[in-house]
Amino acid sequence: MATSSSQAEQESAAPVEVAVLGSARIGPGDPRHDDAVRLGGLLAAHGWTVVTGGYGGLMAAVARGAAAAGGRTVGLPMRAWQHLTPDRSCSELRWSASYAERFGHLLATQVAIALPGGVGTLAEASGVWAAAQTEPDAAQLVLVGPAWRALITTFADQLVVGARDLALPVLVDDVDAVVPAVQRLLAAPAAVLGAHG
């Protein structure tokens, strides 16, 4: 069977890497954990490499879901965090000696998806958002769930943030809406706003 030229281009192109950010504290038995497992499977079903922090909670749930679906999984563990063990479902580990190096791996993905999380998730999502404002080919950002929608509303009310800045992250209500959002961003990334302080 002959392949189309666009299909051949996709097969020869570098694999799409999609990062998923989320809490390390949410475990099995929590519906958010179940959603993360399902999301990993959905991302892997599209042939995307799933990149997580590499540890437990929602990161492990996403990686396990992707691995169970036959997907490629990458973890981003820290060399200094010897008290933590990377999750076994990560087929590749990209070790970092510093948080800046680890964050560089995250920024090198095409899309970052933020699930529910705490300070670390917020910091990483904010960093991706800031890079998307000013850097060509920066990772695009998808925020999943009502907590992110509430935060964006608060940011709009309380911070010095313009409407175009607020439009950069794609807000979706649940994991079922993530894949279509990622597909749209891969097809037409948001315009870089440039450095504007």
Model confidence pLDDT, tens digit, residues 16-65 = 999 999 999 999 999 999 999 999 999 999 999 999 999 999 999 999 99
Mean pLDDT (the chain, rounded):
92
pLDDT of residue 27: 96
| Helix or strand (DSSP H, E) at 75 | strand 73-75
What gap in Å lies between CA 40 and CA 44, rounded to an integer?
A: 6
Torsion angle of C-alpha atoms 48, 19, 176, 117, degrees rounded to 10 = 160
pLDDT of residue 112: 98
> CA angle, 62 as apex, 57 and 68 as ends, to 5°?
125
pLDDT of residue 14: 80
Tokens of 191: 């315009």
pLDDT of residue 189: 82
What gap in Å lies between CA 44 and CA 67, rounded to an integer?
A: 8
pLDDT of residue 63: 98
What gap in Å lies between CA 101 and CA 133, rounded to an integer?
A: 20
What gap in Å lies between CA 114 and CA 142, rounded to an integer?
A: 6
Tokens of 53: 């922090």
DSSP 3-state assignment of 154? helix
Q: Classify residue 124 as exposed, middle or buried by CB count within 10 Å of its CB (0-12, 13-18, 19+).
A: buried
- pTM of the complete model: 0.91
Q: Which parts of the chain register pLDDT below 50?
A: 1-12
Tokens of 92: 């590749």
Tokens of 43: 């991302």
Please check whether residue 178 is in contact with residue 144, taking contact to mean a CB–CB distance below 8 angstroms: yes
Tokens of 73: 């999984």
Q: 14-184 — its CATH code?
A: 3.40.50.450
DSSP 3-state assignment of 15? coil
